[in-house]
Amino acid sequence: MFDALTDRLGGIFDGLTGRGALSEKDVTAALREIRVALLEADVALPVVKDFISKVKERAVGEEVIRSVKPGQQVIKIVHDGLVDMLGGPDAETRLRVDNPPSVIMMAGLQGSGKTTTTGKIAKRLADRDKKKVLLASLDVRRPAAMEQLAILADQAGENVKSLPIVEGQMPAEITRRALQAAKLGGYDILFLDTAGRTSIDEQMMAEASEIAKIAEPKETLLVADALTGQDAVETARRFHERLPLTGLVLTRMDGDSRGGAALSMRAVTGLPIKFLGTGEKLDGLDAFDAKRLAGRILGQGDIVSLVEKA
Amino acid sequence: SKSSSKLGASLTGAFNKRKLDDDALEELEDLLITSDMGARVAAKITSNLAKTRFDKDVTDQEIKEALAEEIEAIMAPREQVVDFSDGPTPRVVLFVGVNGSGKTTTIGKIASKLKEQGAKAVLVAGDTFRAAAIEQLTVWGERAGIPVMSKPTGADAAGLVYEAIEKAKADNLDLVLVDTAGRLQNKAELMSELAKIVRVARKLDPEAPHDVILVLDATVGQNALSQVEAFRHTAEVSGIVMTKLDGTAKGGVLVAIAEAHDLPIHFVGVGEKAEDLQPFSAAAFAKALVGMDEKEPA
Ligand SMILES: Nc1nc2c(ncn2[C@@H]2O[C@H](COP(=O)(O)OP(=O)(O)OP(=O)(O)O)[C@@H](O)[C@H]2O)c(=O)[nH]1
Ligand SMILES: Nc1nc2c(ncn2[C@@H]2O[C@H](COP(=O)(O)OP(=O)(O)OP(=O)(O)O)[C@@H](O)[C@H]2O)c(=O)[nH]1
Ligand SMILES: [Mg+2]
Ligand SMILES: [Mg+2]
């Protein structure tokens, strides 16, 4: 796929005439290929369209730098545009977790990676920032969801504990019990891991928003799968409407998807991407880096090889 | 309505009485892309439509019907319900796929159905890696009233599968449903573990596993194509189940898969409960994708 893009761009750029300034014709031809590349990377169409028109504005009329070909220059402008859209090179990814006990709520579709990510971030906060962390599962639906979180708490080390499981309690009740336990136990941070839900399940969305009202989380993270396709915009928009989201986490970045969903979700919500999940184990978590992700969405190989060809 | 697709709503907005000219076709192609079917298939379907309707006045309803017809035509050859209660004994069925796609839940749902049909089956907790994967399958086994075979976390999955098939033969069971750990298809080591499970099963029965079901999540984008290729290559996938069609995603990438792969699609998952599994219907899928019906018929 990357090679195909390189070839396509290569062909187009060989024919580019722009000297002096990038012409509209040159830019349009190049951006048509970029559009296809972004769609193949699963960036949602409305986001692609918006992005392309912004980049076009920026590129047309730009003075051509003598040392590079106009095609490379367009790529550079596209790349910088992606970095900007993803939050800039110095995107703020720290969690707001002063004021103990700070609540961090995790939400998202079924199977997106909430429980695993809870364990990962908890371990990170315990190891790096010496925080005392309590994990509470509000998932009363998925079989063994609570056991799963308890096992992860054990794996995360001695500064991470899980709330004892009490059969038959509803999520709102568990939330109150967890808040109480976090205060009494002198915890710095309380994670609320919620059950997976589709964004159109009214009852479940109402439940999530009730939990947020009770717990007043400092951070509410939407956990989404990096393999997600065009639906990323719909999911992000609907969760953003119902919950006080403060950030995004994209899991399964260790896969071979281009990760366009990250751009889509960032674009519709304006929320910062805080972390990327990069494995099944608890150490598989990276702080977000806009430049790296932009390179991946675009196919970094292309840029590098184009520059090398020059 | 609740289950009406995003594509359906957009089509209604864009094609309420309109001439199907070049502009309209371009817009249509774009809308199809938003369903995850991919740029190439979207272009193909659009050009098929243009053959008979170019420059004619169309309504959104006509467009939807025509699209559904095109999509159904692509999907119909893949519609193939599978009856696990039939065939060789024990019939060994392996469930594979990337992390979190819905493998364990789908096994639970199928197990519940089989119990109703009176099949003698065993569930095998072949995910010996993920936290509480064994407990999760055990709950499903209890719900269905079907025993679960497991080993402690960290045990060799292939060894467990071997023992399970051996026991199923000895006990004259009809079915062995094997859960496996989720794995991303680009992870060579994990994929070779899966290959080992298949190899070991064949030692006891050269025909086993008789079915290898790839479980795909409806929210997935173009990466699904690479999932199909990799799992076919490693484990000779024999059929597909698509889960989570009860959400906003309508699984459009399945159209691209149906175009490229001669692989039957058996079931769709439409919820988290035991009864939320339906036989795949090309017509119902196509209609839901273009937003033609309120609810998918069972
Ligand atoms: N490869 C990989 N797998 C991941 C990552 N994050 C989570 N997973 C896996 O994805 C699967 C689902 O993860 P969970 O944490 O159970 O997801 P969840 O959102 O809590 O699921 P529900 O509670 O059922 O909605 C598991 O197999 C995890 O091991 C990641 O970054 N990379
Ligand atoms: N809404 C909906 N949720 C589903 C469906 N099928 C599975 N799920 C949910 O998706 C989540 C993941 O399902 P699992 O069955 O654990 O997926 P898995 O493939 O076994 O996951 P790993 O073993 O971690 O790789 C759970 O919360 C399930 O309840 C479905 O058809 N619809
Ligand atoms: Mg969970
Ligand atoms: Mg599983």
Per-position pLDDT tens, chain A of length 310:
344 445 555 666 666 655 677 888 878 888 888 898 899 899 999 999 999 999 999 988 887 776 667 777 788 888 889 999 998 887 778 899 888 999 999 999 999 999 999 999 999 999 999 999 999 999 999 999 999 999 999 999 999 999 999 999 999 999 999 999 999 999 999 999 999 999 999 999 999 999 999 999 999 999 999 999 999 999 999 999 999 999 999 999 999 999 999 999 999 999 999 999 999 999 999 999 998 899 888 875 545 444 444 4
pTM assigned to the model: 0.95
Distance B67 CA to ligand 1 centre (A): 35
Contacts of B224 in chain A (CB under 8 A): 227
Number of other CB atoms surrounding residue A25 within 10 Å: 12
Mean pLDDT of B26-38: 91
Residues of A with CB below 8 A from B100's CB? Answer: 110-113, 225
In the numeric block, which tokens belong to residue A50? 């918006």
Dump pLDDT digits (tens) for B135-146. Answer: 999 999 999 999
Closest ligand to Cα B215: 2
> Does B276 touch chain A if contact means CB atoms closer than 8 Å?
no
B230 in contact with A, Cβ within 8 Å? no
Judge: B99–A111 Cβ closer than 8 Å, yes or no: yes
> Could you tell me which residue, A29 or B199, shows the higher pLDDT?
B199
Q: Does B14 contact ligand 1 (Cβ within 6 A)?
A: no
Inter-chain Cβ pairs, chain A and chain B, closer than 8 A: 138
Q: Is the CB of residue A165 less than 8 Å away from at least one CB of chain B? A: no
Q: Which amino acid is at A210?
A: E
pLDDT at A15: 60
Q: Nearest C-alpha of chain B: how many angstroms from A90? A: 29
Integer Cα distance of A105 and A211 in angstroms: 9
What pLDDT score does A221 carry? 98
Residue to substitute in A115, A124, A239 for testing ligand 1 pocket (most ligand atoms within 8 angstroms of CB): A115
Q: What pLDDT does A8 receive?
A: 59
Q: Cα torsion for A185, A189, A195, A197, to the nearest 10°?
A: 150
* Residue B103 CB less than 6 A away from ligand 2: yes
The more confident residue out of B84 and A213 is A213
Two tokens at A143? 């079989």
A204 contacts on B by Cβ (under 8 Å): none
B129 CA → ligand 1 middle, Å: 12
- In this prediction, residue B294 has a pLDDT band, given cuts at 50, 70 and 90, of very low
Alpha-carbon distance of B296 to B271, in angstroms, equals: 13
Provide, as residue numbers in chain B, all residues whose Cβ is less than 8 Å from the Cβ of A282: none
Ligand 1 atom closest to Cα of residue A277: 31
Chain B positions touching A223 (Cβ under 8 A) are none
DSSP string for residues in A63-83: BPPTTS-HHHHHHHHHHHHHH
Would you say the CB of residue B104 lies under 6 angstroms from ligand 2?
yes
> Chain B partners of A111 at a C-beta cutoff of 8 Å?
99-102, 217, 244
Task: Give A187 to chain B, closest Cα distance, Å.
Answer: 24
- Specify whether the CB–CB gap between A114 and A196 falls below 8 A: yes
Give yes or no for a contact between B270 and B279, defined as CB atoms under 8 angstroms apart: no
Separation between Cα atoms, residue A298 and residue A308, nearest integer Å: 17
Task: Provide CB contacts within 8 A for A11, sequence distance 6+.
Answer: none
How near does any CA of chain B get to the CA of A98, in Å? 30
B87 CB contacts (<8 Å, ≥6 apart)? B210
A111 touches chain B (CB under 8 A): yes
Please report the pLDDT score of residue A21 as a whole number.
78
For testing contact with chain A, the best of B32, B148, B219 (most A CBs within 10 A): B219
Separation of CA A43 from chain center: 13
B209 lines ligand 2 (CB under 6 A): no
For the CA of A197, the nearest atom of ligand 1 = 25
Reduced to 3 states (helix: H, G, I; strand: E, B; else coil), residue B51 is: helix
Residues 140-159 on B with a CB inside 8 Å of A are 140
Question: Does ligand 2 come within 6 angstroms of the Cβ of A111?
Answer: yes
Q: State residue B16's pLDDT score.
A: 75
According to DSSP, residue A114 is labeled H
Tokens representing A175 are 């939330």
Q: Assess contact for A224 and A136: CB atoms under 8 A.
A: no
Q: pLDDT tens-digit profile of B154-184?
A: 999 999 999 999 999 999 999 999 999 999 9
**Nearest alpha-carbon partner for B178 in B82, B266, B93:** B93
- State which residue of chain B sits closest to A42, comparing Cα positions: B221
Q: Are strands B18-19 and B57-58 parallel, antiparallel or unpaired?
A: antiparallel
pLDDT band at B295 (very low <50, low <70, confident <90, very high): very low
Among chain A residues, CA nearest to B131: A148
